[in-house]
Amino acid sequence: MDTIQAYSLMCMIRLFEEAIERLFLEGRIMGTAHTCIGQEAVAVGTAAALETRDAMTTTHRGHGHFLARGADPKRVMAELFGRETGYSRGRGGSQMMMDPSIGFFGANGITGGSIPFATGVALDAKLRDTGRVTVCFFGDGASNQGVFHETLNLAALWKLPVLFVVENNGYAMSTPTARGLANPHIADRASAYGITGVSVDGNDFFAVRDCVAQHAAVCRAGQGPVLLECVTYRLSGHSRGDPRVYRSREEEAAAWENDPILRLETRLKADGTLTDATAKTLREKAQACVDDAIRFAESSPLPDPASLQEDLFA
Ligand SMILES: Cc1ncc(C[n+]2csc(CCOP(=O)(O)OP(=O)(O)O)c2C)c(N)n1
Ligand SMILES: [Mg+2]
């Protein structure tokens, strides 16, 4: 993935998420969703550093990770619309999408739920010696779950090829990290398990990409897991309809100054990779891709009620 592709992908993810927030307000999609506006550089920077054979797992805030990994925006949107053409045939919605064919082993509505799951994928890679690295995304809130500590201990003990990527986006629902973490530097927790912990500017596409590439190589070389903290900011509310009463509009305005897309665009223009005109064209293409996805989803059939008991595991 070159930097122009990365920029296009980040724009598409942003526009996809903005569309979802709008579609909820208009009552065109149901249920709930958590958007990743402001965190696009983590998703795309990570995806840009991985190989085809690698794997990813995500959280409740996972559309960006999935799209960055190569998911079809049409099928992601169709899943949000509850249509048969969606990734889970319209039965799961926002937090229930996966596609093993692109090494994407799913989202998880349980805070911290993906941490042991990703580690299982990494155990499989180690036992079968596939050279696959698994990236496990989770949030600052999830890093307070017991399962985070249990899993890091085991992954470190067994030297599993898993890159734990914690997106420290400033909040767990309405709780700011300063009120939820005794030590706000999540990367420091790595030392408890004798593994490397690194903190990186999660709004800098290049920093994320290079850091993931460097530490994925460590995992791939059999030297065990690494904990990578990407410091970012959740520009969106926690989930749809969040009035964001727990933070000020001034704080948000300051965070928008650090918008990862704006930063990448400024950098690419400064080094001559991108012009105003090309940026405009790329954004228009990204918007067309999202509009196509909405059209595809809305024109897709709802699941047949007679198929309700298919694909059930109980
Ligand atoms: C086991 C469990 N506890 C609580 C919740 C409710 N919940 C959903 S998202 C969330 C906050 C997660 O915060 P963080 O891990 O920082 O992720 P972010 O939402 O910031 O991406 C909580 C507590 C849940 N889904 N699962
Ligand atoms: Mg968080």
For the stretch 251-293, pLDDT in tens is 999 999 999 999 999 999 999 999 999 999 999 999 999 999 9
pTM for the complete prediction?
Answer: 0.97
Please, which residues have CB within 8 angstroms of residue 93's CB and are 6 or more apart in sequence? 31, 32, 33, 79, 80, 82
Instruction: Report the C-alpha dihedral over residues 250, 255, 261, 267, rounded to 10 degrees.
Output: 110
Which candidate, 236, 91, 266, 79, places its Cα nearest to that of 173?
236
Nearest CA to ligand 1 atom 5: 111
> 122-133 b/e with 16+ CB inside 10 Å = b?
bbebbeeeeebb
Domain-wise residue ranges, the chain: 3-302
Q: What angle do CA 87, 166, 121 make, to 5 degrees?
A: 55
**What was the pLDDT predicted at 35?**
98
- In the predicted model, what is the mean pLDDT of residues 286-310? 96
Nearest CA to ligand 1 atom 20: 172
- In the predicted model, what is the mean pLDDT of residues 241-247? 94
pLDDT tens-digit map of 14-73: 999 999 999 999 999 998 999 999 999 999 999 999 999 999 999 999 999 999 999 999
- Which atom of ligand 1 is closest in space to residue 173's alpha carbon? 11
Please, which residues have CB within 8 angstroms of residue 62's CB and are 6 or more apart in sequence? 36, 94, 95, 97, 107, 137
Q: Pocket residues for ligand 1 (CB within 6 Å)?
A: 34, 59-61, 109-111, 139-142, 169, 171-173, 234, 238
- Backbone torsion region of residue 35, taken as left when φ is above 0, otherwise alpha when ψ lies between -120 and 50, otherwise beta: beta
The CA-based diameter of the chain, rounded to the nearest angstrom, is 57
What value does the mean pLDDT of the chain take?
Answer: 97
Q: What residues are neighbours of ligand 2 (ion), with CB under 5 Å?
A: 139-140, 169, 172
**What was the pLDDT predicted at 313?**
81
**What was the pLDDT predicted at 241?**
83
CATH for the stretch 3-302:
3.40.50.970
| pLDDT band for position 308 (cuts 50, 70, 90) | confident
Pocket test for ligand 1, best of 63, 111, 148 (most atoms within 8 A of CB): 111
Percent of the chain predicted with pLDDT > 90 = 96
Joined tokens for residue 117: 């799951």
User: How far, in Å, is the centroid of ligand 1 from the Cα of 76?
Assistant: 21
